[in-house]
Amino acid sequence: MRSSVLKLLRSRAGNYISGEEIAKHLNVSRTAIWKHIRELKQTGYEIVSHAKRGYALMGTPDLLLPNEVKSVLKSDLLGKEVVHFFDTDSTNNEAKKLAADGAVEGTIVVSEAQNSGRGRLSRGFFSPASKGIWLSVILRPSFAPQHASKCTLVTAVAVTKAIEKFTGIRCGIKWPNDIFYEGKKLVGILTEMNAEMDAVNYIVIGIGINVNIAQAEFPEELQRIATSLQAISGNAIERKELLSQVLVELESAYLEILKNGFLHILNEWKTYSITLGQAVNVIGIDQTFSGIAKDIDEDGALLVETENGVERVLAGDVSIRPKT
């Protein structure tokens, strides 16, 4: 009901609509409408009231509420359902619970803040309230489980393209799961899967984008290695609009790999890579070596040329660091 009231207010674009008209349209009492208006105000919507003219929506909160996200949504599959939290430990954890309970493909989970945001290899991820896009997407693909790790690379391409189209900022992808701008981390991606021997039950893709974090707001240990779109551009970014663009690009990439496989997207990844051609250190569980990152193969594994030949590095079991 609240979303229906909000939809009517939006339809008047800042002009008044009477409580009587809203009540008649929704077939409820004017008292019920007044209660929903009060709840919307408490959430952060700027609604003015006039005794004779009714209500007018004058401003919306900078929150990724389901109604706000859906008001600008341009994707068909992704964002089919929007689950919102003001604070949670991790959107991926919430998404995995929902997926296990049967949430439809395309469901997204967003949170204004995360208190235990995770990156790859269980590293922490700084996720302050209403300053970024902390997002998880539930997918139920038809491809085999061994292809799931490539979704990280696909997502990196989609997010990089979305950022460039929406802000004009050209970023680079550091294998396997980070997006950088001039040597500083801007986006982290974490892909998790639940599968059986020959079938994927679900994939959850977590995306953390530093949007409106001032450089001084980062913890001291991150200020030299992390950045945000606001810090780069000097302007505040409309989070819900950027989220909409991310979902459009990710949906397009996802439908492409379902129809035609991963080859085209992996080739696109190479055009954005800041890892290929670079000297790297590979730090694994039981080995450490150095070499030149030459390419990625059809599985998305990094191919590193060393003194002893080409080493194939799989996502998830190593950390890649530029040589100093």
Please state, rounded to an integer, the average pLDDT across all residues of the chain.
Answer: 90
Of all residues in the chain, the percent with pLDDT exceeding 90 is 65
| Residue 120 annotated as binding site | yes
How many residues would you count in the chain? 324
Q: At what angle do helices 150-167 and 239-260 cross, to 10 degrees?
A: 140
Of all residues in the chain, the percent with pLDDT exceeding 70 is 94
Between the CA of residue 250 and those of 209, 213, 241, what are the distances in Å?
Answer: 14, 24, 14
- Helix (H, G, I), strand (E, B), or coil: what is residue 269? helix
Structure confidence by residue, pLDDT tens digits, 262-297: 999 999 999 999 999 999 988 877 778 889 999 999
Q: What's residue 24's pLDDT?
A: 86
Between the CA of residue 24 and those of 2, 15, 72, 225, 233, what are the distances in Å?
Answer: 15, 18, 27, 56, 47
Q: Which two tokens stand for residue 80?
A: 């089919």
| Residue 114 annotated as binding site | yes
Q: Residues with Cβ < 8 Å from 18, sequence gap 6 or more? A: 53, 54, 55
Q: What's residue 49's pLDDT?
A: 87
Cis peptide before 176 (omega within 30 of 0): yes
- Helix (H, G, I), strand (E, B), or coil: what is residue 74? coil
| Residue 92 annotated as binding site | yes
Structure confidence by residue, pLDDT tens digits, 65-102: 998 999 999 999 999 899 999 999 999 999 999 999 99
CA dist 301 and 316 (Å) reads: 10
CA dist 289 and 226 (Å) reads: 26
Choose the weakest-confidence range: 25-39, 49-63, 114-128, 160-174: 114-128
Q: What's residue 229's pLDDT?
A: 98
State the Cα angle at 204 between 202 and 208, rounded to 5°: 175
Q: Which two tokens stand for residue 257?
A: 């790999």
pLDDT band at 119; cut points 50, 70, 90:
very low
Whether the predicted pLDDT of 226 surpasses 80: yes
Whether the predicted pLDDT of 45 surpasses 90: no
Check residue 73 and report its DSSP letter. -
CA dist 200 and 186 (Å) reads: 30
Q: What's residue 306's pLDDT?
A: 93
